[in-house]
Copies of this chain bind each other. A is one copy, B any other.
Amino acid sequence: MSTAKIFVEGSWQPSAGTRTFQADDPRTGEAVGDTFPVSNWDDLDKALTAAAACDRTTRDWSGDRFAALLDAYAEELEARREEIVNLASQETALPVSPRLNDGEFPRTVNQLKTAAGESRDGSWSTPIIDADNNIRSMYRSIGPVFVIGPNNFPLAFNGISGGDFAAAVAAGNPVIAKAHPAHPGTSRLLAECLEKALGKTGFPAGFVQMIYEVAPEDGLKMIRDPRLAAVGFTGSQKAGVAIKEAADALGKPVYVEMSSINPVFVLPGYLEDSGDNLVNEFSTSCLMGSGQFCTNPGLVVLPPGEETPRWIEAVRGRFAEAACNPLLAAGVKSSLLNSIERLVNAGAQLLSGGKPADSEGFVVQNTLLQVDAATFLQNSETFQQEAFGNSSLLVTTTDAEQMAAIADALEGQLTGVVYTTEEPRDEALYRDLEPVLRRKVGRLLNNKMPTGVAVSPAMNHGGPFPATGHPGFTAVGLPASIRRFAMLECYDNVPEHRLPAALRTS
C-alpha cells in the first residue's frame, strides 16, 4: 500500500520522510485507513521555501482576495459535507449527529465565512491616518504562519480549516498546516477542498500547505527558521510550552492554547435552589464528547451544607449510568488513566469510574473524584493538572474562606464559572470570589457551563498562562483573533503611491 502524499508547493507530493503512521479507530483500537507519512526536515524546508516565495506575491493583495479564498473554501467544504463528517466520525468516534454534522461542520464553515467578511471589511487592521504629521499605521500580514491543530476538533480547530487557519489567512498570511495524526484522512479531505478553492481564486502555489506529522525536533527547527513569521498552536501544555519557548527566544509571535481545568464554583444559595438542574447541566457538559474539550469543567468547588452530599451522590449516579464513549486516541486514554491515578495518589477519592471500560477501543469509565479543600490546598499544583477526558474533580469546602483560597491557588484558565443566586448570601460571596477569579480566567461565566464557545465578536477563548501564552489575545472571536497574525506597520512621510490602499487619503 502506498503512503499518502503531502500537500506542498501547490500539489500532492510524496513525503521525503521515511517513517509512517496510521490512524486508529477509537471504537476498536485497531489501525485503519491509509498510511500517512511523518515529514522530515526536507519536507518542511520545501514548504518554508514555497511559503516564503508565495508571500512575496500575496503580501500586497487586498483583503478581498483572501476573503474570496475563504468563501470558496467554505463552498467546497459544503459540497463534500457528508463525506467529511462521516470520515471525521470514523477517525474520532465523535458522532456524526449532532456533534459533527450539526455542530462542528456548520461552525467551521461559518468561521471561514465570517473571517472572509472581516478580511474584506478590513477594520481588524485599524488603519490610522495622522495627516498633520503625515504618519500612518495599520496592522498588516506578518508572513508564513505555522498552524498546529489539536486532536479534539477535527474540523473547527483543524490546522487547515479551523479558527487559527481562518485568522492567519484573513490577515493575508501563507499557512503551513500540521494536521493532527488522530484524523489524517479527514485533514486530507479538507486539503483537497482547499486545493480546489486555491485554484479557483488564483492563488500561487504554496499559499496553504499541509503535512501530517513531524518529529518534535523538526517542528521546533521549523519554528526557529527565519522564513517562518508566527505560530498558532492548540494542544497539550508540554508541547505548547516547548513551542512557545522556541519562538519566544527569537521574539517570534506565538499563540498557544493549552490546558485548562475550567473551575466551577457553586455558591450555597444556588445549590439549595437549583441543585437538581445543576446535576443535569454539569453531567451533560462534563461527559459530552467524552469530556474532550479545552473548556471541559474539570474542577467543581462545592459549598458546605447538607445539600452537598446529596448533590454529589446524584452526580455520581449520573456518571455511573451514562454511556461511556471512546476517547480520540490511545494516548488520550493512557494519559487520562495516568491523570486519575495521580489524583488518587494525591488523596482524591474515586466516587465513580477510574478504570478502562469493559469494552474494546479507547474507552475509560466516566470518572468522578472528590477531595476536601484542605487536601486540595496542600497540593494544589497536582490537583489542578488537567485530566483530559470524561472526568471531573469535586472539591468540598467547610467555609467561604476555603472557597476563596482555592480561587487564589488557581493557575490561569480559559474559563471560570460561578453558579449563584442574586440573594445576599451568594452576592456577598460572589463579591469576594470575583476579583480573584476574574484575573485568572479569560471568560467568566455565571450559571452556565463553559463548554460552548460561541463564535461571537465578544468571545474570548484565551486566558492567563498556562491556559495560553498571553492574556491579551483570543483564538476565537472575529475580528480580534486576526490581529494575532499581524504586525503593526507605520509609514512616516511616505508618498501616497507607496502606501497600502487603506492608508491613502487621495
Residues of A at under 8 Å CB distance from B? 56, 59-60, 128-130, 133, 135-137, 139, 142-143, 229, 244-245, 248-253, 412, 415, 422, 430, 434-435, 438-439, 442-448, 450, 454, 456-460, 462, 464-466, 468-474, 477, 480, 483-484, 486-495, 497-498
Contacts and interface: CB of A to CB of B under 8 A. Distances in A.
Contacts of A438: 489
Q: Count the copies.
A: 2
A470 B435 contact: no
B498 A454 contact: no
Contact of A250 (B130, B465, B490): B465
Contacts of A444: 489-492, 494
Contact of A460 (B244, B252, B456, B489): B489
Contact of A458 (B136, B443, B459): B136
Given A128-B457, A445-B493, A474-B490, 13 more contacts: A128-B458, A135-B458, A137-B460, A139-B472, A251-B466, A251-B468, A422-B497, A443-B491, A446-B493, A447-B493, A448-B493, A473-B488, A480-B488
Contact of A495 (B253, B422, B465): B422
Contacts of A459: 130, 135, 137, 490
A288 to B, nearest CB: 17
A362 to B, nearest CB: 31
Contacts of A465: 250-252
A494 B130 CA distance: 39
A135 B59 contact: no
Contacts of A470: 251, 253
Contacts of A445: 492-494
Nearest to A140: B438
Contacts of A250: 465
A430 to B, nearest CB: 7
B253 A244 contact: no
Contacts of A457: 128, 130
Nearest to A436: B56
A469 B59 CA distance: 23
B439 A492 contact: no
Contacts of A133: 454, 456, 458
Contacts of A471: 142, 251, 253, 487-488
Contacts of A492: 415, 443-446, 448, 450
B458 A490 contact: yes
Given A130-B456, A454-B133, A487-B471, A434 B248 contact: no
A229 B56 CA distance: 39
23 contacts: A56-B435, A130-B454, A135-B456, A143-B439, A250-B465, A251-B464, A251-B465, A251-B471, A253-B471, A434-B498, A442-B490, A443-B491, A445-B492, A446-B494, A446-B498, A448-B493, A460-B490, A471-B487, A472-B486, A472-B487, A472-B488, A473-B488, A474-B490
